[in-house]
Chain A
Amino acid sequence: MGGRHPTPAAGDGVDPPEAAPSREPALSLQERLESTRAGRSLLSVLLVLTLAAVAAWNLPSSALRQAALPVVEPYVRTLGLDQTWNLFAPNPPQATFEVLARIDYADGSWGEWRPPRNDRWRKWLGAIRQDRNMPLWAPTAAWIAASHDHAGRRPVTVTLVRRGHPLPPPGSGAVEPTWEEFPFFTYRVPEGGAG
């Protein structure tokens, strides 16, 4: 099994020679590779390496994963094979949160910014409400200030606020607790504007 594929150009009896305009196009480099045993062996090596790398990358935190990571990481990240399938895993959040911004203007008025309801902003705000993502707070607040600097109203401070409450377990009959607010970052807009 698995020898060289006879190519259409070699004459396979499918088409008469006069049917040239309707013949299959000449074999591409990929087809030539796939048509020989050596080529298929080479592709098989790449397939095995790829599958092994993807499997190692997906393993839960373990000694095996730690050992494999230095080897597979360059391959996986360079090709974009990195993946994590942890939506609501190992557990969904057991509290609900939202992030909003309070904007104070130079004229003494104030306003509230709520993010657009889409999954991108959900991901962004889900990240910035965590203290470990503190470096993202200032650029987020600066962007909110810049996008509200119009019609003669100049923002002077933007305060990021997270609101939330824990979720009672299902079947407990407990009334959902009231929302609690935590202002967690205040950005003072520079005199020249946020950008």
Chain B
Amino acid sequence: MSGLWAAWDRFWFAPTPTSTLALVRVAYASVLLAWCALISFDLTAFFSSSGVLPSRVVRPWTWSLLDVFGSDTAMTLLFAVLVWAAVFLLVGFHTRLAAVVAFVVLMSFERRNLVVLNSADTLLRLFGLYLALAPAGAAFSVDRWRAARERFWEFPLRAPWALRLIQVQVSVMYLFTVWLKAQGETWNNGTAVSYSLRVMEVARFDLPRWLTDSAVLSNVLTYGTLAVELSLAVLLWNRRARPWVVAAGLLLHVSIQTTIMVGLFSTTVAVGYLAFTEPENASRWLLRLRDRLRRSRLGPLRRLGRAGPRPEAASQPQLPWPDPVPAPVPASPKEAERAPSG
């Protein structure tokens, strides 16, 4: 039992460099800003009292700030607040507050009009909740700059449980979509992708008939989709398989994004993949950015790159306290591959 608790404790709470979290925060905030930009064209149509849904359809246990601030002016102001929160989250300024505000306002808009929501909105809301629970401004942020300028390019160690929730959520999404699809006749007989590509409501353009009308090709694409989604649900947790399944996942989502109107779904999924980046890789990428900034011609960027100690001294994150649950030394390389990562 103590071994199980130790494994649980290590998985959720073993102090981990916050470089991965910083990348996720920046990527998430960028997608949120894109979300704001896209929906701003239809703000009045979908969320105002003079739009297609004059008042919210209330479901039990749901809430929206737009119930309280119901006027169209308040709605516009609330949208502006969301944009500001996304910008603050992007740069990591008052990060916790920005993340909470972004989540609350995003959820308020989503609850106001459930009809126009898609999977991207759901995923964005879920990631927003988990980010609000995470120390998302601990590294690579204005908050970090203000709190410990000399250590700006270090990535403090924190318990990764909120980041883990994002990772688990990605697995849950793929697992349950495969489960639901496995119950459908068209996913079993291999025709589902052909139908999906011909639904003009969602298709971006007319695909050639040889592609959509071939039963064999449709079988390959349908079973291939299921295989990739199932692999993503499971193998994202395997260090050796991860680059391959991420590549397959990106290929799948780029194909979906190119052919079908699914909003920001593919981009938001990519934020989820980013949560699986090994902290040492994330740290290396950010330090590479620092080295570029040091050579920048723009003064403020150069100063940012030169914050803190010399590169060689800052390249390794400092452990502020001993790891309470030292990871067991793997007995074999195979065991090392199976070890969970964050």
Residues of chain A having any CB pair with chain B under 8 Å: 1-3, 5-8, 12, 14, 21-25, 28, 30-31, 34-35, 40, 43-44, 47, 50-51, 54-55, 58, 60, 73-74, 76-94, 96-98, 116-127, 133, 136, 139-140, 143, 146, 167, 169-171, 173, 195
What B residues does A85 contact at CB under 8 A? 119, 173-174, 176-177, 180
In the complex, identify which listed stretch (B4-12, B236-244, B286-294, B295-303) lies at the interface while the others stay far away. B4-12
Return the contact of A89 from the options B161, B181, B213, B321 (Cβ within 8 A): B181
**15 more CB-based (< 8 A) A-B contacts, given A47-B161, A170-B213:** A8-B320, A8-B321, A22-B149, A31-B159, A54-B169, A88-B181, A90-B183, A92-B192, A92-B199, A97-B201, A118-B261, A169-B194, A170-B214, A171-B218, A195-B50
Bound complex: CA A81 to CA B168 (Å):
13
Chain B residue at smallest Cβ distance from A86: B180
Which one, A90, A120, A139, contacts B184 given CB within 8 A? Answer: A90
Is B125 an interface residue, CB under 8 A from the partner?
A: yes
Residue B26 at the A interface, CB < 8 A? no
Q: B62 contacts which chain A residues (CB < 8 A)?
A: 77-78
Q: Does B179 contact A (CB under 8 A)?
A: yes
Chain A CB within 8 A of B198 CB = yes
Please report B residues at the A interface, Cβ cutoff 8 Å: 2, 5-6, 8-9, 12-13, 15, 38-39, 41-42, 45-46, 50-54, 59-63, 103, 107, 110, 115-119, 122, 125-126, 129, 135, 147-151, 156, 158-159, 161, 165, 168-169, 172-174, 176-177, 179-181, 183-187, 191-192, 194-196, 198-202, 212-218, 261-263, 265, 308, 318-322, 324-325
Which residue of chain B lies nearest to A85 when distances are taken between CB atoms in the complex?
Answer: B177
Assess the A40–B107 pair: CB atoms within 8 A: no
Q: How far is the CA of A78 from the CA of B103 in the complex (A)?
A: 12
Q: Are B46 and A1 in contact (CB under 8 A)?
A: no
C-alpha gap A58/B201 in the complex (Å): 26
**Residues of chain A within 8 A of B150, CB atoms compared:** 21-22
Chain B neighbourhood of A122, CB < 8 A: 201-202, 261
> Assuming A80-B125, A85-B177, A170-B214, is B320 touching A14 (CB within 8 A)?
yes
Query: Which 8 pairs of residues, A with B, have the shortest CB-CB distance?
Result: A171-B215, A90-B184, A22-B150, A77-B61, A170-B194, A89-B180, A85-B177, A91-B184
Q: How far is the CA of A30 from the CA of B37 in the complex (A)?
A: 33
Contacts of A3 in B (CB 8 A): 324
A192 to chain B, nearest CB (A): 14
Shortest distance between the CB of A68 and any CB in chain B (Å): 15
Give min CB distance, B258 to chain A, whole Å.
14
Complex CA gap A146/B318 in Å reads 62
Name B147's contact: one of A1, A25, A123 (CB within 8 Å). A25
Q: List 26 A-B contacts (CB under 8 A).
A: A8-B320, A30-B135, A31-B158, A34-B13, A34-B161, A47-B161, A54-B169, A54-B172, A73-B61, A77-B59, A77-B60, A79-B129, A81-B129, A83-B126, A87-B262, A90-B180, A90-B187, A91-B195, A122-B201, A122-B202, A124-B46, A124-B115, A139-B54, A143-B51, A170-B213, A170-B217
| CB-defined contacts of A24 to chain B, threshold 8 Å | 148, 151, 156, 320
Dominant secondary structure of chain B at its interface with chain A: helix
Q: Identify the closest chain A residue to B160 (Cβ).
A: A34
Q: Which residue of B lies closest to A176 (CB)?
A: B198
Q: Which of A82, A91, A121, A127 has the most CB of B within 10 A?
A: A91
Q: How many Å from the CB of B238 to the closest CB on chain A?
A: 20
Q: Are B135 and A123 in contact (CB under 8 A)?
A: no
Q: Is A126 within 8 A of B201, CB to CB?
A: yes
Given the interface pairs A1-B9, A3-B324, A58-B172, the reply to whether A96 lies near B200 with Cβ below 8 Å is yes
Q: Is the CB of A28 within 8 A of B135?
A: yes
